Structure 1
Amino acid sequence: MKKIPVLIAGGGPVGMTLARTLASFGIRCLLVERNASTTRHPKMDITNGRSMELFRRLGVVEKLRAVAVPEENNFDVSWITSLTGRELHRFRYPSVIEKRAEILARNDGTQPREPAMRVSQVMIEPVLQAAILNHPLVDARWGVAFEDFEQDADGVTATLRTVETGATEQVRCDFLAGCDGGSSIVRDKLGIGLEGRAAVAHRYMIHFRSDARDILQAFGVAWHYQTARGTLIAQDDKDTWTLQTRPPPGVDVPNLDPDAVLEAWVGRPFAREILVANPWFTHLLLAERYRGGRVFLAGDSAHQYIPTGGYGMNTGIGDAVDLGWKLAATLKGYAGPGLLGSYEAERRPVGHRNRLASERHTGVRIKIGELYERIADPDVLAREIAALGNAENESWGVEFGYRYDGVEPDPVKYEPTTAPGARLPSTFLRDGSALYDRLGPWFTLLVFGNADPSPLIDAAPAPLDIVMVDDPVAPIYEARLVLVRPDTHVAWRGNACADGRAVWRQVLA
């Protein structure tokens, strides 16, 4: 029987990110995905700044950006009467190039290390796949289905099936990660229920290719063109698009003609090739637990959201990195058994808060839809849309401000802090280097001024990098000693350390 430290069920972005994270810490893993290849469905179209920071740590950010929308293109969200009508209000957001300039100019800890990225999941998955297929510590298999598992005190025995031949095999692992989506077999076998609301709304997705930019970007480049009847997403600002709309009332959805739906929304004939079209349901669901013994849930198996805000995959990337470094620390003997218990304690509240945020953003869209129905004057409608705002794409507190100490941040405004549990603020130092880029792969101790780091260094049970910072940005970090975890969250801070062993017990036990 094959033995492996970690088995990952599911080869979507979350499963592949977990595999890459484990490999970066020297942990072998086996990833299995029942589908024969990466997805053809667009699913998500924004990788937020926090996920990009984490992808940078994993060494894949440049390859991801190479398949994304050109960096000079904006992230604008535009409400219109129709593509043949007029633009009502445009919420303007900077391009990657413009955002990088803003990050450097402000340098006050409020900004991300990396701007967000406009890209379809269709494009992300092959990049992540290449990053693990070429890694000697990852055994990644597509066309292999996860079927069942049993666990005992010492490990997990899983049953796998090769889809093409039907042949089955059993593998033994220390830990199993269920990254197998909304219909998770792993979650089902653990007997973990979902709380919240299923099938909140019925949607119809049409993913298509067209060169008709004069029609599909009638008011200039924009990430989203939106009406009360749906959203047209520019996947690459060139020839690939996705329309997310509602099935017409009273229509037999399985027999919908996607060409007719698409042309009705656009409002005029145009040349196109439909790639994928299907109905689907939105959900607002959260797993009751993220763990059962040696088995963990991450990504859509743990939470499912309405896409407003883009929290689905992005929350899952945070899950994968949090779980990955904790599994690695446990397997390498750096941590006590309590560290794995902190995965659910930290990530489930984030999952819950992001579900609420997605629901709030959907509520705003519903209000805008009601405005379309009762306001005929486009100038009045435009003012009302502007007044409601677009927190859906401006909730920096949700994106960067989430904390693991029980404090609920402002969902819109991000306030930099080094309170233990918070994400480390990102700044650029006097020499032009990014502080984030000087962090070590495991733990990093930031030392400001003449603070004495020796108690923490002498007691360190895990690899520890020391970064001395003599720089004007020092006040942003609020203490003279700041201990940073592998996921760039603050583990501990203080102006002095009297008992290094006690600190490390708290951080790793």
Structure 2
Amino acid sequence: MNIPVLIAGGGPVGMTTALELARRGVRCMVVERNDTTTRHPKMDITNARSMELFRRIGIVPQLRAAAVAPDHPFDVSWITSFAGHELQRFRYATVDQAYARIQAHNDGSQPLEAPMRVSQVEIEPVLKRAIDEAPLIDVRFGVQMVDLVQDAQGVTVTLRHRADDRVETVRCAFLVGCDGGGSQVRRCLEIGLTGQENVMQRFMTHFKSDAREVLQRWGFAWHYQSVHGTLIAQNDKDTWTLHTRFPDSALGSPDPSALIRRFTGVDIPHQVLVANAWVPHLVVADQYRKGRVLIAGDAAHQYIPTGGYGMNTGIGDACDVAWKLAAIVRGFGAEGLLHAYEAERRPVGLRNCEGSGRHNQVRVQIGKLYDDRLEAPGAEGESARAQVGEQIRQIGNAENESFGIELGYIYADSPIVVPEAGAVVPLDTLAYVPTTVPGARLPSVYLANGAALYDCLSDWFTLLVFSDAEGTAEHFEQAARSRDLPFTVLRIDQPELLKIYDAPLILVRPDQHVVWRGRSIKDLAAAHRVFARALGWPTHV
């Protein structure tokens, strides 16, 4: 069998890669060793940038239907226990409030989409239904990728059907390994990992309980945290996940119910669904690609969940690698796009790994503030709790406020964007600074007609024209036609937007990142050079 792209791994990253390829007209196969989607709650937040990318795929309504209600907050609260005291609460907007803020601040500083509280247990079935319904995607769960051999023309992949141990080989032009932290694809490529492994021993207890009078004593909160761990409200109704930390790695064989009791401070009726020890890592693959084989998601990077960067970074990987492979398969992209995938996404992986590590240290720092005084009666206890609560407030909660990480990653050194000498590249990991410097995510606004700018972009390349000079749009149109490249010119008669977008002409690529900006382009040859660079062909701009 021959297939343009084979995807090993049917988690969120693999399924998103498949959906992106299919919407760009490329056939692919997804193989997943498990028979069903996961029952492990590996993630619980889909950030605003991932939701923007899911919006392009067209599945945001289905995802939100599976998520926590839009009028529930994203609050994070530090407590002693549910039998004790709340020390500090960081309050964050509901989805409804976030959408209202986006509309009220239409200045490019906001994302197009609000984030979403949802467990991976819920998100995977939505994605699975979408790939099952896509005619261009061959879905095979219960099938494991076991080996690969590549040559100059393609990759021969050995698959094993777990039900009967039947083995088959599939020939593909490209293979994408989205097969998790223990990636068989990465092992076959002999790609190493750099960073800190076995950061801290942890234990997950995923359970059902209707004891909301205890578990929501101070109201809805996405996370309740204490020195004993983090309790995640998966649906704000009856499903919860407790992550218990063991800094000394002396885990032993804990009783999940006892861990729940220790965190809550009282006995509650509950049913344990899944309980297991696990060890987080802070590692990034040394390479994201060898030849015609690429890796994405946890196969390429593994983080502590602080910040929620694991799956969300993987969704960015998926959308990046998919448009590049689709361009090559369809004939207008060149091999340089494969090199650009690693050049763009690995620095993001490293940056997010560092961010996750910083956020984890903040939790450790706050944990050290806990002592017996916090449960003391009378004035002594009140004073201690007020003091520690203020210290927690001052330390802050950057892991849920790092919009520079979520929205502000910029492919400034990418070989497929047109660099600008002296361009200022925002590097703040906390604040998102809107910019159209080449490589940046295009700032999002609503246009005067009420349409979201992102919704007006084409599936491939779009030239935004706020004011044309010397026939620049025509030069790009001619260059695109000669390459059979899908291309759209979007004319926007709103001069006031130049304060946000800096340049009257902006070329945007399929993943909503800026390729080039300027006031004009010299001639048709110059437009050809821009497209050649953006599509990975040898050139110099």
Query: What TM-score do you get using the length of structure 2 for normalisation?
Result: 0.92
Match for 1:454: what amino acid? E
Displacement of 1:474: 3.3
Residues 165 and 412 of structure 1: CA distance in aligned 2, closer, same or farther (over 3 Å): same
Return the alpha-carbon distance in structure 1 between the equivalents of residues 44 and 63 of structure 2: 13
5 Å-filtered alignment, 1:332-371, equals 332-371=330-369
Q: Is the 8 A contact 1:111 1:426 kept in 2?
A: yes
Aligned match for 1:282, one of 277, 280, 283: 280
Displacement of 1:374: 8.4
Match for 2:491: what amino acid? M
Match for 1:428: what amino acid? Y
Q: Which range is displaced more, 46-55 or 255-264? A: 255-264
Match of 2:114 in 1: 115
Q: Is the 8 A contact 2:78 2:224 kept in 1?
A: yes
Aligned-pair identity in percent equals: 56
Aligned match for 2:519, one of 471, 495, 499: 495
Match of 2:265 in 1: 267
Is 1:197–2:204 an aligned residue pair?
A: no
Match of 2:478 in 1: 458
Secondary structure of the structure 1 residue equivalent to 2:280: strand
Is 1:397–2:404 an aligned residue pair?
A: yes
5 Å-filtered alignment, 1:251-266, equals 253=252, 255-266=253-264
Q: Is the 8 A contact 2:468 2:520 kept in 1?
A: no
Return the alpha-carbon distance in structure 2 between the equivalents of residues 292 and 166 of structure 1: 28
Return the alpha-carbon distance in structure 2 between the equivalents of residues 374 and 448 of structure 1: 63
Return the alpha-carbon distance in structure 1 between the equivalents of residues 210 and 474 of structure 2: 62
Secondary structure of the structure 1 residue equivalent to 2:197: strand
Displacement of 1:273: 1.1
Match for 1:492: what amino acid? W
Match of 2:510 in 1: 486
Is 1:22–2:42 an aligned residue pair?
A: no
What's the C-alpha RMSD, in Å, of the aligned pairs?
Answer: 1.3
Residues 317 and 209 of structure 1: CA distance in aligned 2, closer, same or farther (over 3 Å): same
Q: Deviations along 1:458-489, whole A, 9 cap, x unmatched?
A: 10131011211112323211111111111000
Is 1:322–2:346 an aligned residue pair?
A: no
Return the alpha-carbon distance in structure 1 between the equivalents of residues 530 and 467 of structure 2: 21
Displacement of 1:408: 5.9
Secondary structure of the structure 2 residue equivalent to 1:333: coil
Match for 2:492: what amino acid? V
5 Å-filtered alignment, 1:46-65, equals 46-65=45-64
Return the alpha-carbon distance in structure 1 between the equivalents of residues 296 and 314 of structure 2: 6
Displacement of 1:98: 0.3
Match for 2:387: what amino acid? V
Displacement of 1:250: 8.5
Match of 2:74 in 1: 75
Match of 2:30 in 1: 31
Secondary structure of the structure 2 residue equivalent to 1:279: strand
Q: Is the 8 A contact 1:43 1:120 kept in 2?
A: yes
Return the alpha-carbon distance in structure 1 between the equivalents of residues 116 and 388 of structure 2: 30
Q: Is the 8 A contact 2:468 2:505 kept in 1?
A: no
Return the alpha-carbon distance in structure 1 between the equivalents of residues 398 and 513 of structure 2: 25
Residues 503 and 211 of structure 1: CA distance in aligned 2, closer, same or farther (over 3 Å): same
Work out the number of aligned pairs and report it.
507
Secondary structure of the structure 2 residue equivalent to 1:54: helix
Match for 1:394: what amino acid? E
Residues 180 and 92 of structure 1: CA distance in aligned 2, closer, same or farther (over 3 Å): same
Match of 1:506 in 2: 533
Q: Deviations along 1:406-454, whole A, 9 cap, x unmatched?
A: 4461000110011110000000111111101101111111110244311
Match for 2:488: what amino acid? D
Q: Which range is displaced more, 194-203 or 261-270? A: 261-270
Displacement of 1:340: 1.4
Displacement of 1:259: 1.1
Return the alpha-carbon distance in structure 1 between the equivalents of residues 66 and 361 of structure 2: 33
Q: Is the 8 A contact 1:427 1:473 kept in 2?
A: no
Q: Which range is displaced more, 329-338 or 373-382? A: 373-382
- Which segments of 5 or more consecutive residues in structure 1 lack a partner in the other structure? none
Is 1:416–2:434 an aligned residue pair?
A: yes
Is 1:310–2:308 an aligned residue pair?
A: yes
Return the alpha-carbon distance in structure 2 between the equivalents of residues 417 and 252 of structure 1: 47
Q: Is the 8 A contact 1:375 1:381 kept in 2?
A: no
Aligned match for 1:475, one of 499, 506, 509: 499
Return the alpha-carbon distance in structure 2 between the equivalents of residues 310 and 227 of structure 1: 18
Return the alpha-carbon distance in structure 2 between the equivalents of residues 105 and 221 of structure 1: 25
Secondary structure of the structure 1 residue equivalent to 2:210: coil
Secondary structure of the structure 1 residue equivalent to 2:182: coil
Match for 2:457: what amino acid? L
Match for 1:494: what amino acid? G
Q: Is the 8 A contact 2:467 2:505 kept in 1?
A: no
Secondary structure of the structure 1 residue equivalent to 2:30: strand
Match for 1:341: what amino acid? H
Return the alpha-carbon distance in structure 2 between the equivalents of residues 435 and 340 of structure 1: 28
Match for 1:476: what amino acid? I
Displacement of 1:373: 3.7
Aligned match for 1:428, one of 433, 446, 455: 446
Displacement of 1:389: 0.6
5 Å-filtered alignment, 1:438-449, equals 438-449=456-467
Match for 2:357: what amino acid? E
Displacement of 1:229: 1.2
Secondary structure of the structure 2 residue equivalent to 1:199: coil
Secondary structure of the structure 1 residue equivalent to 2:148: strand
Query: What TM-score do you get using the length of structure 1 for normalisation?
Result: 0.98
Match for 1:409: what amino acid? L
Return the alpha-carbon distance in structure 1 between the equivalents of residues 249 and 15 of structure 2: 41
Return the alpha-carbon distance in structure 2 between the equivalents of residues 251 and 108 of structure 1: 51
Residues 418 and 251 of structure 1: CA distance in aligned 2, closer, same or farther (over 3 Å): closer
Displacement of 1:337: 1.5
Q: Is the 8 A contact 2:200 2:249 kept in 1?
A: no
Q: Deviations along 1:167-225, whole A, 9 cap, x unmatched?
A: 00000000000100000111011010000010000000011111111110110001000
Displacement of 1:335: 1.3
Return the alpha-carbon distance in structure 2 between the equivalents of residues 393 and 248 of structure 1: 23
Q: Deviations along 1:25-79, whole A, 9 cap, x unmatched?
A: 0000010000010000001000000000000000111100000000010000011
Secondary structure of the structure 2 residue equivalent to 1:157: strand
Q: Deviations along 1:137-173, whole A, 9 cap, x unmatched?
A: 0001110011101001110000001101000000000
Displacement of 1:248: 8.9
Q: Deviations along 1:365-422, whole A, 9 cap, x unmatched?
A: 1110111148641110000000001110000000000000144610001100111100
Return the alpha-carbon distance in structure 2 between the equivalents of residues 11 and 337 of structure 1: 26
